[in-house]
Amino acid sequence: MTDQPVDAGDQLAASTSEASLRRTEARSAEIEAQIAKDPSGFRVMTGDRPTGNLHLGHYFGSLANRVRIQDAGVETFILIADYQVITDRDGTGPIRERVLGMLADYLAIGLDPSRTTIYAHSAVPALNQLLLPFLSLVTDAELRRNPTVKAELEATGDRPMSGLLLTYPVHQAADILFCKANLVPVGKDQLPHLEQTRVVARRFDERYGRVDPARPIFPQADALLSKASTVLGLDGTKMSKTKGNVIEIGMDADTTAKLIKRAVTDSDRFITYDPANRPEVSNLVLLVSLCTGREPIEIAGEIGDGGGGGLKKLVTESVNEFFAPIRARRAELVADPGYLLDVLRRGNAHANEIGNATLDEVRAAMNMTY
Ligand code: TRP
């Protein structure tokens, strides 16, 4: 028998403190150096909810980083988290189109299904079955205190907490642990999930034991915080579909031009790069920088008194040029749903193999092999 688990509430709160964030950043830098030397010790897992098409905020904030990690030779698992769509809404919406659209986005930007496993939540029963033993390892109080759960609950307005939202950190632990991932590229908002995942892995080991006495069944996964800059929406606030301020990866050049024309700037005609005082203008300069690889200050200096009009013209050209090949490839993929389904089914099959092997070990550790 093992003791009652120590409550993870404090650990979770601590995981979002400044000092802890600095430690996670330092650890991320160390891991990057290790990947450059030898990528074979890592298995990366991350994912997205298919609630809409992916946009430039996703691309520069996380997707480009995933491609970089894949290309560095790290084995990568990417989850299309379809079950997670219903943590904060009442229906699944046009989920099938969204799943295939997201897959097309992934492939178009350079995720390669021969090296990266892309799969859907609902297609991997073993992953979901881990939820039962994992739920035995957490308390209602610590889930209610989880900062990510709290933030999502607040964002849903008057909607009551569903069982699925309350257990969000636990199913996300199952997402990560079903394939024994040891590295999870995420944004800061997801750090409490990582801490909860480590707690679940540790408690599983304490309570249910091991198959191989030399090592726990589940690893202690690290977060990998990317250094990527945050691209804001066209109004200078967080890029988000519900705010109507996004440029989608798959949008056409004309729509992109129209949206950028309506972007918010400010009353100072002279263009500078000054994110603290001129968030809207600086964000547009940053977009040019990310698409061209040139320095923001240099770009702003060149536009100078070309004003908002000059800036928007350059943003439009840079974004459309950078995304043209990605968009062309995406259009081809979307026109071939048979191919997309084939890729997804192969990804699902591989995820099932891995998940079944993990679940076998879990059953063995729990003496449930019949
Ligand atoms: N929760 C993540 C989001 O909302 C998506 C996600 C699901 C995820 N499972 C994951 C991310 C596992 C990292 C690891 O975007």
Q: DSSP string of 76-118?
A: EEEEE-TGGGGGS-SS--SHHHHHHHHHHHHHHHT--TTTEEE
Whether the predicted pLDDT of 243 surpasses 90: no
The identity of residue 355, as a single letter, is G
pLDDT (tens digit per residue) in 77-119: 999 999 999 998 889 999 999 999 999 999 999 999 999 999 9
Same domain for 181 and 283? no
Q: What pLDDT is recorded for position 10?
A: 53
How many folded domains does the chain comprise?
Answer: 2
Whether the predicted pLDDT of 134 surpasses 50: yes
Sequence-ordered list of residues with C-beta below 8 angstroms from that of 277, at least 6 positions apart, any chain: none
Beta-bridged to residue 238, according to DSSP, are: 232
Q: Which domain holds residue 264?
A: 241-334
CA distance 48 to 251: 19
Same domain for 221 and 84? yes
Question: Does the CA dihedral 164-170-172-175 come out positive or negative?
Answer: negative
Q: What pLDDT is recorded for position 14?
A: 58
Q: What pLDDT is recorded for position 130?
A: 98
Same domain for 330 and 248? yes
Same domain for 36 and 182? yes
Indicate whether 2 belongs to any domain: no
| CA-closest candidate to residue 35, choices 66, 63, 13 | 66
| CA-closest candidate to residue 312, choices 325, 299, 324 | 299
Q: What percent of the chain lies above the pLDDT cut of 70?
A: 96
Same domain for 25 and 99? yes
Q: What pLDDT is recorded for position 241?
A: 82
The answer, yes or no, to whether any atom of ligand 1 lies below 6 A from the CB of 175, is yes
Same domain for 158 and 56? yes
More reliable by pLDDT, 354 or 159: 354
Q: 66, 193, 197: which to mutate for ligand 1, most atoms within 8 A of CB?
A: 193
Mean pLDDT to the nearest integer, 194-222: 97
Segment among 9-18, 266-275, 284-293 with least mean pLDDT: 9-18
Indicate whether 236 belongs to any domain: no
The answer, yes or no, to whether any atom of ligand 1 lies below 6 A from the CB of 84, is yes
Sequence-ordered list of residues with C-beta below 8 angstroms from that of 242, at least 6 positions apart, any chain: none
Q: 77, 156, 172, 193: which to mutate for ligand 1, most atoms within 8 A of CB?
A: 172
Segment among 8-12, 85-89, 145-149, 175-179 with least mean pLDDT: 8-12
Same domain for 353 and 280? no
Question: Cβ of 42: how many Cβ atoms within 10 Å?
Answer: 20
Indicate whether 4 belongs to any domain: no
